[in-house]
Structure 1
Amino acid sequence: MRVLVTGGAGYIGSHTVVQLVAAGHQPVVVDSFVNSRPSVIARLEELTGEQIETHSFDLRDADKTSALFAEGGFDAVIHFAGLKAVGESSQIPLEYYDNNLGTTFSLMRAMEHHGVRRLVFSSSATVYGETETVPMPEDLPTSATNPYGWTKVMQEQILRDVAATGAAQVALLRYFNPVGAHPSGRIGEDPQGVPNNLMPFIAQVAVGRRERLQVFGDDYPTPDGTPLRDYIHVEDLAAGHVAALQYLDAHPDVAVREWNLGTGHGTSVLEMIAAFEAGSGREVPYDVVSRRPGDLAAVYADPSRAETELGWRAERTIEQMCADTWRWQSGNPQGYPG
């Protein structure tokens, strides 16, 4: 299939592009490069041995989006494009709503106009809000605790409504905590500014870009007092997108379906630090500080639906996640070149 990958130069998108090529598909990237680097594309071409058709513009530009579809001949879309920093979303909520909803409106109009039905959407476990149910199944009610999370909840509903008209087939992929990097060390997570997530912060401390890590609370009702999260290797996550795409192709009567992508297992902050130190041979100094408002003690998936219906399972271990992250970070201490 010829697949448009929005946000295809980003962290998860770039890894998915590589796996799409490996599965025999032809990915086409569109990215505004607001949160990614153009130099990613050359590395994707290096890894795949293929030229990656790339378009650089903001999907909110409806005319450019429609023109891309008019010429594209796309069979499907995987939609990653969007702003994604939880903390930042509370500071600039209008920008998050405008960007994340606006890109989806423009994209869906172009898809409908040009007869492209299959869509795999990058959703998030943030749609489960403050629920304390673990493991988390897909039939939990959705809610959110921040504007970023609400944009995901809203986009899911928009896509369900469009799918109900018969205009689209939609896979909603709710994933938990993506980490790791391609085993080559050529592509990986390169957050702009201060990392919002644990693993890239640990990696930047280990490589010397940052002095110390802050651990937000050690008094949770967990084995070591630090929160448990479901960390999933980005390579497993990318494979989940390819599997969802293939599912939609094989089940044309399915209008919309949600799948969790996670391991089903919680790893604590201190366990992750210890695993990274073992994998990198570097010390990761840290300070325990007070809890962050809204942080739950444990968040991890029930991935059984994806295992049953998609034939997909997260296979890589925490040790592999840490080793691949360190290979990427140590080889690219400042991230991608300008």
Structure 2
Amino acid sequence: MRVLVTGGAGYIGSHTLLELMAQGHEVCVLDNYSNATPQVLTRVRALSNGELGDVTGDVRDASTLDNLMQDFRPDAVIHFAGLKAVGESARKPLAYYDVNISGTLALLNAMSRAGCNKIVFSSSATVYGEPRYLPYDETHPTNPMSVYGRTKLMAEQILTDWAAADAPRGAVLLRYFNPVGAHASGDLGEDPRDIPNNLMPFIAQVAVGKRDALAVFGDDYDTPDGTGLRDYIHVVDLARAHVAALDYAQRHTGARPFNIGTGQNYSVFDMVKAFERASGRKIPTQVTSRRPGDVAAMLADASRANAEMGWQATHDLNDMAASTWAWQSKNPDGYGADS
């Protein structure tokens, strides 16, 4: 199958490229490298020993999309391209609506013009908001607490309406919980620019001495140790979920959401301890105020993905910590040294 991957040079996208190529799919990446580097694709090619098409461009650019659709003629699209930081979305709401909503609209319009009817969408568990019950299942009410979450939910609705408007269309909406970890080679991993928004890369940067201490955003939640509980999922498991979703999309029409998580949650201090075990290094912490939009606990019910897509997570917390340390210790400056 020919698969167009928007934002494919990013953290989750790059790991998904390897899984797609391992399954024999022909892949082309569209990325504007606003939060990535072309060096990622060089490493993907080396790890896969395969061919990978790539186009530099913005997912909002209709002419770029039309030319790509005409040249590559994808059978399906995996849509990662977007902005993804909860805190930043509160400061830059218009940028988030522009990229995440306008980009999705432009992509779907181009797909419609080209007759491409299948898409897998990178959504988020933030669409649920404050839990009414845990674990979240896909029927849990949606009430996102951040601009970022609202853009994801809006995009889901757009995709749902697009899929319903024409019988051959299918959209799989993957609601990620908290991706962490890295490729087993240590050559691909999460490389945030500036101060990390996510927990694990922040811990990893403390471990290699790039940062003095981990900022813990609140220790007064109603949880066992006062810090937020999250369902962390290994990025390779998440990447494999996209391959499973692609297979599902080929067999189904309409739109369908799936939770992608493990059904186990851990606190901030649980993650710190796991990383200390993996790295053999002490991780200093500094408690600060809560972040707007954060909830006390998140936990996935991923039974639908298992039953309908045949997918389940296989990596545990130790794998997540060990692979992150392998990546960060091998690449203390991320991709910076090669960019």
Deviation at residue 291 of structure 1 after TM alignment: 2.7
Counterpart-to-counterpart distance in 2, 1:155 and 1:316: 29
- SS of 1:232's partner is strand
- SS of 1:102's partner is helix
- Aligned residue in 1 for 2:24: 24
- Aligned residue in 2 for 1:173: 174
Deviation at residue 288 of structure 1 after TM alignment: 2.1
Counterpart-to-counterpart distance in 2, 1:297 and 1:256: 30
Deviation at residue 228 of structure 1 after TM alignment: 0.8
**Contact kept in structure 2, 1:159 and 1:170, CA below 8 Å:** yes
- Superposed counterparts of 1:42-191, under 5 Å: 42-166=42-166, 168-191=169-192
Moved more, 311-320 or 163-172: 163-172
Deviation at residue 103 of structure 1 after TM alignment: 1.1
Matched, 1:286 2:285: yes
Deviation at residue 107 of structure 1 after TM alignment: 0.7
- SS of 2:98's partner is helix
- Superposed counterparts of 1:210-229, under 5 Å: 210-229=211-230
- Aligned residue in 2 for 1:256: 255
Matched, 1:207 2:214: no
Counterpart-to-counterpart distance in 2, 1:104 and 1:291: 31
Deviation at residue 154 of structure 1 after TM alignment: 0.5
Q: Deviations over 1:2-49 (max 9, x none)?
A: 100000000000000000011111111110000001111110000110
Counterpart-to-counterpart distance in 1, 2:217 and 2:10: 27
**Contact kept in structure 2, 1:130 and 1:294, CA below 8 Å:** no
2:83 partner amino acid: L
**Contact kept in structure 1, 2:87 and 2:292, CA below 8 Å:** no
Counterpart-to-counterpart distance in 2, 1:36 and 1:228: 28
Question: 4+ residue stretches of structure 1 with deviation over 6 A?
Answer: none
Moved more, 67-76 or 319-328: 67-76
**Contact kept in structure 2, 1:112 and 1:168, CA below 8 Å:** no
Counterpart-to-counterpart distance in 1, 2:58 and 2:289: 39
Deviation at residue 290 of structure 1 after TM alignment: 3.0
Counterpart-to-counterpart distance in 2, 1:79 and 1:298: 27
Deviation at residue 101 of structure 1 after TM alignment: 1.0
- SS of 2:159's partner is helix
Q: Output the aligned Cα RMSD.
A: 1.1
Q: Which runs of 5+ in 2 are unaligned?
A: none
1:305 partner amino acid: R
TM-score, L = length of structure 2: 0.97
Q: Deviations over 1:268-290 (max 9, x none)?
A: 11110000000011111001223
Quote the sequence identity (%): 56
Counterpart-to-counterpart distance in 1, 2:34 and 2:259: 27
Aligned length: 336
Instruction: Tell me: CA distance 1:108–1:333, structure 2 relative to 1, closer, same or farther (3 Å).
Output: same
Q: Which runs of 5+ in 1 are unaligned?
A: none
**Contact kept in structure 2, 1:132 and 1:296, CA below 8 Å:** no
Deviation at residue 56 of structure 1 after TM alignment: 0.3
Moved more, 289-298 or 235-244: 289-298
**Contact kept in structure 1, 2:86 and 2:293, CA below 8 Å:** no
Instruction: Tell me: CA distance 1:292–1:59, structure 2 relative to 1, closer, same or farther (3 Å).
Output: closer
Deviation at residue 219 of structure 1 after TM alignment: 2.5
Counterpart-to-counterpart distance in 2, 1:60 and 1:224: 43
Instruction: Tell me: CA distance 1:5–1:177, structure 2 relative to 1, closer, same or farther (3 Å).
Output: same
Counterpart-to-counterpart distance in 1, 2:33 and 2:292: 31
